[in-house]
Every structure is written in C-alpha cells, then in structure tokens.
Structure 1
C-alpha cells in the first residue's frame, strides 16, 4: 500500500485512522484499554535500520523509492486515545491516529498487535478481579504463553487489578510487584515432605508459602505448622475440590493455632471458578492459563480503519469522511469524539460518539486524551495511574457490568451526526 501510494502521489494525503471493536467477546459487558504505554514506546522506536532495508530490498518487497522513504521514516503525526485503564464498549474509538496516509498506515500492525493482546488480557483480568471481591490475585501464566507475551500479560493484569505477578521480567521492566510459590518438584526433590518444608523455611523464613498437596494435605498442614509455628505465612492448594479442601484446611489451621496463616488456591482458575469460591475460606488466588489466553477471548477483535482523508497533499486540502460499505463489516466515516454520559449518582449510562464538536454535560467525561503530538510522545504516565484509573472506571459502571452471566454491553453506544470535523 505504501509503495503504491508513493507511486500514485496519494501517500502525503492527510488521513485519520480509528481503532475500535465492532463487538465485545460473547457475553462480556465491557472491555479494558491496556497496552497504551507499550504502544507509545513502540511508535517512538519505530524505524527501519540497514538490515531491515536490505531484507526488504533484496526480497523485492519494496522498490528503491520506497526503501529510500522508509530509511528516513519517523512518525510525525498525532495520536489520541482512551487513557490506559479506561473501559470501552462496541465501536468506542479507543485510538485515533492522524498523519499522512504513508505514516499512519505503517503503524497498523504494531498498533493492533499490542492493543489486541493487552486489551484482551486486561478485560479478562478485570472480570477475575471483580469475581475475587477484594481478595488478591497472583498472575502465574508465564508457562502458558509466548515468553514476550507473558511479560505483557503480567503488565496488563496489573493495570486491571491483579496484585502481583510471578514474572520477574515484568517486575524488572515495568515495576509490577512480584510474588510466587514453590512447585511440587521442590517437594519431590527431597527425601520427605518434612525435609522440603525445613529447607524452604530455613531459606525464606516463616512468612513463606508452603505447597501442601503433593501427598496428603492434612498431614502436610500439620507438618507445616509444626515446623513454622502459628506464624506460617500461607499454604497453597493446587488440586482437588478447592472449596472443600480449603474449608478443611482452614479448620485444621485454626485448630493448630495458625489463625493468621493464609490459604492460596491455584489450579486452572478462571473468573467463574473464582466466583464459585466466594464463600470458601480462601485468601488469594493464583491464575495462569485462563488469564494469559483472555479467558476464552485471546484477542479483543480490534480493527484499524481509515475514517477520513484529505482530497490532496496540501495542508489546507479539505477532509472528507470515508467508510466501508461491505456487507457484514461496514464502518462509520468521520473522526469521532467520545463522551461518557454520567448521571447525578455518578453512574455511567451511555457512550456517545459524535463527528461534530463534543458537548459534554457537567458530569460527563471526554474520553480522548493526547498521546502523541507532532511525533512527540506526550501521554506517558505511570502504571499506577492506569491501575487507579481502571478502578475508578469500573466503579462508575452500572451494577450489570459486573455480572458474569452473558448479556449485553453495560453501556449502549450512541452515534450523533454532528457534521464533519477537521
């Protein structure tokens, strides 16, 4: 597309692309914007070095003119978006990219690959956090996904409310708090469970978490408290009927005087499994496979669509709306502003998209914030800020948003034709 546009003289036309999802995964009530910070880093670093240009030219992917254009490429346009941690709904324009067609079209794959993954993980994580009802969750999915995706998943889960991750690279790179437990292999390494517990306690202290279901749970709990005393930090259960086993372990810990020893459960948990344990004496959850695969929705199904373009390369050339009309996948033309309507009780009740100048009410929120201006990143923020924003955004949603049963999106999306925007 770039090469053909350069050849036809249309590459320098101003263009506006929007990122949105036509629908949420089946039964989901809201989505979560995540990956924005990673995306800003990626756009800032997006360039073509000598090796990349040699590959493209040698394979005949691009001609000499296009290779010369790519050699000088740096994104110089503008990007607006829903800030990280915000909730979104069908058709929400969570990212708006404005620049020349040539510059903007090159970003499509990097934009979609980052946002589709991170939004999917954060959306699943948010449902799990709500199901946990204030109990902490540990992200433990690194062994169930690509090694780089694992780091991104840990970051996205933290934005959505997970307390910690077992992925140390996510801790090093992004500052996500880290935590973990030993595996069955550590117990099996030793001549007995007692020897394994003694070794772990000697190295890590009484606040550690002991895995108690390698052999016999009741015996393991008794041994753990005998060795660590009533100040043992936690025990982990990874198998069996977790609710039933947790109740038995809680009763046993209390009988042994270990009233403050926490119970952490793991084992193929998802939001439904977590919700089913709401009445069980569980103090925390470790979640792996379901989280890093989006709990059945591994992509957010986001698309990157051209919605407006100029009639010529001149700065003052008029802009016009453009849209697909194909059956099943039509789009709405025109650059859109997004408003979250909020009632007097502080509860959101609709998402309004307009192609005209937005007119928010006194309690409403404009959702787009500047992320890149004239090629310079202006929207960086801390991961904690995104995490706090998500907590606020969820509190603002109606109660139906938190239901795990299948249903419609929590907020309807309303379109207002306000005329063309520059």
Structure 2
C-alpha cells in the first residue's frame, strides 16, 4: 500500500543522484567508444547469505520501481554535474533525455532467496542499465536486510503482534524504508508516522518515560493519559516501581485497562509477576507489551512468558547484526555490437578469489520434493526443464520502460508468509546453520 492507494499526494524527487560517480563516467566513456548502446543484461544476486542465516527475504522491490520511474536528470541536476566538471557536453545532453526503456524481471517482493539467486535482472542498453546500479543495490541491500530480520523475529513471536519502533535508531529516511520492509517481513504496526502516511502501515504509540516524569506523581500521569486516550490505552509501568505502577494503573483505568508496557529489567521475571498482579486486581484482559532492545533471540526466550506483544527498534532497523545482504549488480551478458538484433553472449568476472560470477542470462525455479516442500533453488542459463516451467521465480516488473508490477504492500507481506511456509521446517530455526536450500546450477 502507498499513498497513491490512499488518495494522498506525495512529491517524489528525482533519484538520479542516488548513484556513484563512476556509473556516469563509465557512461561517458562508453558513449565515446561506441559501446553504450550495446544490449546488456545485469543481474542482482548475493554470493552468500549473512553468516548463520537459513534464507533471505526480498525487500524493497516496490521502492526500486519508484526509483527507476523517477530516475530523471532535470536542469538543476545537469547543472550540478556541469559545474563540477564531472561529465562532458555530449554525455549531459544524453542524460537530459534519460528514461529507462528496458525490461526488469525479478523475484516478487516478499519471496525468499538463496546464494546465487538472480533476485533482479535488468535488461536494456549498457548506458541505460549501468546508471541504475547504485540506487537499486542501496534499496535492495537495506530493505532485504531489515525484511530478513523481521521475518526471523516474526517466527520467534509466533501469533503475538510485533510493533516496529526503530525510527530514532537510524536515518530519518531509512526509518521509513525500514518500517515498510519490517511490515513485509511480518511486523504488524509501526510507530513511524511517515511510514504510516507513505505506505498505509497501521501506526501505534502512547507515551514515554518523559511523560511520567513531567507530572508530580505517576498516578497523575496515568490519569492524564487515560482521560485523554481512554481506558484502552497502554500505560508505561517501569519508570519507578513496577508493582506500585501496576496497582495505580488499574486503579486509574479500571479493569478495562488496555495494556501495560515494560521497557527494562528482567522481562521474563517481571512479565510473570505483572500478569499475576493484573489477574489478582481483576484486570484479566489487560495485555502486557514488552520492549527494551529486543531481537529474535530475546523474543524467542520470552515464548513461555505471559507477553502479548513486542516492540522492536534498534535490532530490527540494523538487520539484527547484518545491516546489508551483500547483493551485487553484475553484467552477465551483452551483445557484440549495437545492432538491435545482435545476439547476446555470456560475460563474467574471472578474477581469483571469492568475487567470481557466472555469466549468462539466468532463470530460477524452486524444485519441490514429493511432499511439496521446497528442496532446491535451481538456476540455469539454457532451456528451462519441463518439470520446472511452472515454478519459475522471476516475474516481469518493468516492460519497455513501463512499470507493470505495482501491488499493495499487503500482497508482498502475504507472499512472504506463504514462501516461508513452503520451506523445510528447519528454515525457522534461529540457531546458526547453512542455507536451508542448496543452489543447483544447470
């Protein structure tokens, strides 16, 4: 969901300078050498998953489509490039008319991926495709990292709701993207109003410790909040003494108190004590919300605790220790001339070490076992085997420069839940391990 779905206007600035200078200097050199218009195929993939992770999650596809659509060089941007002496006149003239007119295929947002998976394939001339490298990678690397962390936290939380609360722990624009990616990965709400406005994600929030400290007594603070927001609000009970705060909260709001939030201490022990106290006070339906630097492991450790919801911030927006997916954008095929019908030939980096890549325009499919559970990620450059023809993973995203894959954010969220459920059960283990599916090249 985005503001277009909500009927809300949003000014989208050009994304053309979300790039590295060498993308444009390569363009200039290719224009001079006569190779800029050669038909080319670039692919986005990662050579490995973050250490110990069993699967990756594709996040940010919708934002990539927005970025490609708004990759435009207006006079202000061209003036900057001209004044800095970064590009020559003919290159600036070429950029003034830039529009991506090629095709993009990719794993749909929310799908899972594995080492070598061609998460996105960009096809067009070398000139129009190469300049998109940085912006596409910056979006996919960030959003996929957050979506993967969110997915693991969602597994750990089970049926208990998850609230994204990381806006103050990252860049203000990254916070909006992180909220979106977290929603795709399984979170239910966000505290970030910009994310709620831009993408229609449900928002939540009540008060912080500062509100309690503002008042002469904790009871006064609770009274002010309940008078304003109603008895269904969530009261923060760990500013001073938790036991006294819970007692005051129920006395002020009554047994209809919506929830109490615990933000510090031994959450497992405190949650049990608070649950017992709430029940004794007759507030049997009052929920317990916990926050305080949670990650998937802390959430899993609270599985047996009487906790009703989790709020997660720092660990989520930083990918729970893995803030990037190490995705790369590589040329895998190109024509030998600028003739429209010139055939493609595979190309690949062959240097020593771990940074080699496999040439050729690739397809990908996920092979199931006899029970319908995924057993391998199959990648190839030749004809697709008949038994995998209806299991291909890449779908058209952009066709002849036109976006063809707009979808509500909930569709990506639902897709992820289904894709994760189709993996072997060991995919949901939080213990470190190898990718749950092997990658097979055919």
TM-score by length of 2: 0.93
Cα deviation, residue 360, structure 1: 5.1
Distance (whole Å) between structure 1 residues aligned to residue 390 and residue 101 of structure 2? 31
Query: Is 1:381 aligned to 2:407, yes or no?
Result: yes
Query: Is 1:205 aligned to 2:230, yes or no?
Result: yes
Q: Is the 8 A contact 2:365 2:388 kept in 1?
A: no
Residue of structure 1 in register with 2:115 after alignment: 90
Query: Is 1:64 aligned to 2:64, yes or no?
Result: no
Cα deviation, residue 357, structure 1: 2.2
What's the CA shift string for 1:91-118, capped at 9, x where partnerless?
Answer: 1000000000000000001100110100
Residue of structure 2 in register with 1:309 after alignment: 334
Residue of structure 2 in register with 1:79 after alignment: 104
Query: Is 1:395 aligned to 2:426, yes or no?
Result: no
1:361 counterpart SS class: helix
Cα deviation, residue 267, structure 1: 0.2
1:55 counterpart SS class: helix
Match of 1:155 among 180, 195, 205: 180
Gaps of 5+ in 2: 1-25
Residue of structure 2 in register with 1:173 after alignment: 198
Query: Is 1:278 aligned to 2:303, yes or no?
Result: yes
Cα deviation, residue 276, structure 1: 0.7
Residue of structure 2 in register with 1:45 after alignment: 70
1:370 counterpart SS class: strand
Distance (whole Å) between structure 2 residues aligned to residue 247 and residue 358 of structure 1? 56
Pairs within 5 Å for 1:360-379: 361=387, 365-379=391-405
Residue of structure 1 in register with 2:170 after alignment: 145
Q: Is the 8 A contact 1:341 1:363 kept in 2?
A: no
Distance (whole Å) between structure 2 residues aligned to residue 363 and residue 376 of structure 1? 25
> Number of matched residues?
416
Cα deviation, residue 343, structure 1: 2.2
Q: Is the 8 A contact 1:341 1:364 kept in 2?
A: no
1:351 counterpart SS class: strand
TM-score by length of 1: 0.97
Q: Is the 8 A contact 2:367 2:388 kept in 1?
A: no
Cα deviation, residue 270, structure 1: 0.3
Gaps of 5+ in 1: 417-422
Q: Is the 8 A contact 1:347 1:397 kept in 2?
A: yes
Cα deviation, residue 58, structure 1: 1.3
Query: Is 1:287 aligned to 2:307, yes or no?
Result: no
Distance 1:285 1:360, change over 3 A: farther
Query: Is 1:338 aligned to 2:364, yes or no?
Result: yes
Distance (whole Å) between structure 2 residues aligned to residue 74 and residue 285 of structure 1? 44
2:41 counterpart SS class: strand
Q: Is the 8 A contact 2:40 2:125 kept in 1?
A: yes
Distance (whole Å) between structure 2 residues aligned to residue 217 and residue 312 of structure 1? 73
Distance (whole Å) between structure 1 residues aligned to residue 206 and residue 428 of structure 2? 30
What's the CA shift string for 1:194-215, capped at 9, x where partnerless?
Answer: 0000000000001100000000
What's the CA shift string for 1:12-40, capped at 9, x where partnerless?
Answer: 00000000010000000000001011110
Query: Is 1:239 aligned to 2:261, yes or no?
Result: no
Distance (whole Å) between structure 2 residues aligned to residue 208 and residue 413 of structure 1? 49
* Runs of 4+ with >3 A deviation: none
Cα deviation, residue 297, structure 1: 0.4
What's the CA shift string for 1:149-176, capped at 9, x where partnerless?
Answer: 0000000000111010000111111011
1:214 counterpart SS class: coil
Query: Is 1:30 aligned to 2:30, yes or no?
Result: no
Q: Is the 8 A contact 1:137 1:163 kept in 2?
A: yes
Query: Is 1:410 aligned to 2:409, yes or no?
Result: no
Cα deviation, residue 344, structure 1: 3.1
1:304 counterpart SS class: strand
Residue of structure 1 in register with 2:212 after alignment: 187
Q: Is the 8 A contact 1:342 1:363 kept in 2?
A: no
Residue of structure 2 in register with 1:347 after alignment: 373
